[in-house]
Amino acid sequence: MPILSNIQCMNRVSIVAKQVNVFAKQGNVSAKQGNTASPAGNQRLERTIVMLVTLCLLLVSVRTSASGAQGTTGQLLDPAKLQPGTNEVFVRDGPELRRLIVILPSNHDHDESYPTLFCFHGAGGKAENQSQRWTSHVEDRGLVLVSFEAVQSLGKWNFKEDFHPVNHDDVALVRRVARSLVSGGVADSKAMYATGHSSGGLFCYRLVRETSLFAAVCPMSCGMAKDAHDPDRNTQPVHLMQVIGDRDKSYHGSTNPKVTMHSADKRMKIWRDFYHCHKPPVIKAHGIELAVQTYTNEDGIELAICEAKGQGHHLRRDLRDRADRIALDFMLSHRKK
């Protein structure tokens, strides 16, 4: 039997338990209807027994994954125990156990700290969505990748208070993980970056407004919430690049009773005004479908937008990969002072 993560095991255990409960109820109904066992009743009983055995085997696999697998699988986050490669870890967050995937380069040295990229999936996603997207850059760039998972089953980030039914303190979670990785010598505090897709991109804007953790941030395929994400006097300088398709639902902005999203042009103007970027942008084409406009203020803060022509909410895979490289080049070119 393949070794499963704790989350996978518990999900499957839950499914099996529900099925067992259904068959047990069906068996009770059959018993009440007569004293003799029917062939169908016997079959249901046999299937129930098989499911119970499967349940036991799954529970054993949880123990096996915790004790016999290489690397760190299903443990609480402890920077000293992180190993080169993929580490599935958890962070206690009140009643929740928050899941992360942390990937270290194969030549990771515990005596060195590394540039670290925090990434956040879109609505309904899992930590694997972003870790799989960015893992190919871990070796090439010599960075640590930290992929966060939103509280399930909502699977969305708290990009704005009172937007979702429950206000999970995702900002505090990110701060806690960042402190742990920096104090544990894993992450370079001057070279921490964040990116996210859709809901994860919206959450990146909140992180820019409310924290000073990152040297550069790249929200992708997302809007920017009016008021909730607008920079204010407490916002610390950060290099910012937006990646978006010009046919994305968020490109022209939107309004509903709960939130107004700025258009791509409006959000760039807000940040240009905030950073006093008065000079014309430098425009660079990356092929015929990707173009980057970069504004720079007198202090060297860069504000950029990478537009994908003819692309919607999900960029075509080859363009997405190229845009990711552009975004990563942008982020890694900056360090906090």
pLDDT tens track for 228-242? 999 999 999 999 999
Compute the distance between CA of residue 250 and CA of residue 244 in angstroms, rounded to an integer. Answer: 8
Does residue 224 register a pLDDT over 50? Answer: yes
Counting Cβ atoms within 10 Å, is residue 246 exposed (0-12), middle (13-18) or buried (19+)? middle
Does residue 83 register a pLDDT over 70? Answer: yes
Compute the distance between CA of residue 36 and CA of residue 50 in angstroms, rounded to an integer. Answer: 22
Annotated domain spans of the chain? 6-67, 73-332
Residue 74: its pLDDT value, please? 73
Compute the distance between CA of residue 250 and CA of residue 295 in angstroms, rounded to an integer. Answer: 21
Global pTM value = 0.79
Query: Mean of the per-residue pLDDT values for the chain?
Result: 84
Residues 223 and 260: beta-carbon distance below 8 Å: no
Q: Does domain 73-332 sit in CATH 3.90.180.10?
A: no
Share in percent of the chain as helix, strand, coil (round to 5):
40, 25, 40
Compute the distance between CA of residue 281 and CA of residue 296 in angstroms, rounded to an integer. Answer: 8
Compute the distance between CA of residue 189 and CA of residue 212 in angstroms, rounded to an integer. Answer: 11
* Highest-confidence segment of 65-69, 157-161, 242-246: 242-246
Q: Would you tell me how many other CB atoms lie within 10 Å of the CB of residue 76?
A: 11
**pLDDT tens digits for range 12-23:** 444 444 444 444
Strand, coil or helix: 110: coil
| Secondary structure (DSSP) of 119-131 | EE--TT--HHHHH
